[in-house]
Chains A and B, each alone.
Chain A
Amino acid sequence: MRLLKWASTSVLLFFCFSGVAQKGPSFIGVSGGISFPTGNWGKSAFISSTDGFVNSPAGFADKGGFGEVNGAWFFTRHFGIGGLFRYGTYKTKDLDVLSSGYQDSFDVDQVATSANSWKAWSLMPGIYFDQAIARKFSFTARALAGITHVTTPTISVTVTDSDIDDGTFTQQPASKTAFGFDGGIGLSYLVWKGLSVRLLGDYFYSKPNISIQNSSRQNAAGRFVDGYNQALSGFNVSLGVAYALGK
């Protein structure tokens, strides 16, 4: 055990101080990719209730796309400080399941549901790590913490029975900013004249407790979300380019 502690401390100190005199590859980059929501946020469910409201944790968030700007200044060969700004959207998935729940709840002939996307942006500073593993290849990692701002989708439901339009009720969009963190690893490949291609995988997490307004909900039946207090987490896979500063 003592040996393990000694070894790990030595490795850390090696990376921290071995390159103090020689700084690592400071950069600025842009990237984009696909985001995969996890947990209840990424789940959908058939939700029906005939004699009262029911609030489900299912977030109906589909995989989304995102873009980010990030950069870091390396104060040693391996470690740097930096940050990212990321903006992403996640479509609302399985609207047919959502509609079927309302159809069963209100016992009606037809339900038309429309929804836009979850939206999220993050601003996170943190620590960057870089280790060359071949002449043009580097292993990279980052651990970031900051704020995540989330906006819930607008969901509109129109109920029709016996060819009579019984109106539209709407779950209004709501926003909240909360603490969030992100950790990722990846590979960087130097393509040409300080320009490198970066492939990254990240895990992100935030848990904003969002209050949501609803309009035109007259009768207590069916899914009714007046708050969402679930973890908004998932995995990102991104591909981007980075430009080495000071080259």
Chain B
Amino acid sequence: MSGRQLFVGAGLFFLAMLAGCNKKESTVTPAPPSNEFLTTVELKLINTADATDTLTAIWRQLDPTGAALPDTSLAVMNLKANATYSAQVILLDETQKPAVVVSDEIAQRANYHLFFFQPTPIAASSLVIGVGSTDIPVADGTVVSASGPYLNLVVSRTDHDTNNPPLPVGLTDNFVTGAASNGWLRVVLRHQPNVKNGTYDPGSADLDVNYQVTIK
């Protein structure tokens, strides 16, 4: 064998080495341990025309496993008719001492969280599904009523995230009441990691609670 043949052989060897050098790598993270729970959902409302007209409605579930029934004795809102309330949603983890204000973390992570508020009973014609709406689709549990009487409450979000373009969040809101009526307000927080687009469907629910509402 000549030196030239050996050299050509070595060249082919190096080419073969190069051909096998571009392997795709992949990894999957393990699930992190849960270190916070949403035990308490407070709605703090202030009548924009009467600062003395305030209320706090509280939904509480101190059992992180969800086995026990929630305490809904304070999940009640008595609102004045034809009024506008500015509302604030406060989320707490009361399994920790002192309680952790989880809504502060939601504010930091607003770019992929979105609150929905569904008054019921509601007419099918009043249900608006889409970007900017706070309504929850029928497919996700909203029951529309053909005959009423309807709860005369409209909720709109007033805060926005830092996405481009900005999308609503729902930690602060306006509650606008109409004529006297009764019903329920369902509050859902959607966790939409990299899929938040202003609509309800993407992602999953971090919380789903109900309040009894009386407008008079």
Contacts and interface: CB of A to CB of B under 8 A. Distances in A.
26 contacts: A50-B111, A51-B108, A51-B109, A64-B21, A65-B18, A67-B14, A88-B21, A92-B25, A95-B27, A96-B27, A106-B112, A108-B193, A110-B30, A111-B28, A111-B29, A112-B28, A113-B27, A116-B23, A117-B21, A117-B22, A164-B204, A166-B203, A216-B194, A218-B196, A219-B194, A220-B164
A118 to B, nearest CB: 10
A87 B18 contact: yes
Given A67-B15, A218-B194, A219-B192, A240 B10 contact: yes
Contacts of A31: 14
Interface stretch (B1-9, B77-85, B118-126, B150-158): B1-9
Interface of B: 2-4, 6-7, 10-11, 14-15, 17-18, 21-32, 108-112, 161-164, 191-197, 202-205
A192 B3 contact: yes
A243 B4 contact: yes
Given A30-B14, A65-B18, A220 B162 contact: yes
Contact of B111 (A87, A91, A220): A220
Contacts of B18: 32, 65-67, 87
Interface string A163-182: 01011010000000000000
B128 to A, nearest CB: 22
Nearest to A104: B32
A18 interface: no
Contact of B193 (A64, A99, A166): A166
Given A99-B28, A162-B204, A166-B203, A219 B195 contact: yes
A98 B18 CA distance: 27
Given A167-B195, A217-B194, A220-B111, A114 B3 contact: no
Interface string A116-145: 110100000000000000000000000000
B7 A241 contact: yes
Most buried by A among B4, B194, B195: B194
A36 to B, nearest CB: 15
A195 interface: yes
B194 A167 contact: yes
Given A99-B29, A115-B26, 17 more contacts: A50-B109, A52-B111, A65-B21, A67-B18, A108-B193, A109-B31, A110-B29, A111-B28, A113-B27, A115-B25, A162-B204, A166-B195, A166-B202, A167-B195, A218-B163, A221-B111, A241-B7
Q: Which 8 A-B pairs have the closest CB atoms?
A: A114-B26, A106-B193, A195-B3, A193-B3, A162-B204, A243-B7, A95-B27, A30-B11
Interface in A177-196: 192-195
Nearest to B18: A67
A243 to B, nearest CB: 4
Given A218-B197, A219-B111, A221-B112, A91 B25 contact: yes
A218 B164 CA distance: 9
Contacts of B22: 89, 116-117, 119
B155 to A, nearest CB: 23
Given A50-B108, A64-B21, A112 B26 contact: yes
Contacts of A195: 3, 6-7
A106 B108 CA distance: 11
B39 to A, nearest CB: 17
A209 to B, nearest CB: 23
Given A50-B108, A65-B21, A107-B109, A219 B27 contact: no
Contacts of B109: 50-51, 107, 221
A88 to B, nearest CB: 8
Contact of B14 (A161, A194, A220, A240): A240
Nearest to B31: A109
A159 interface: yes
A159 B2 contact: no
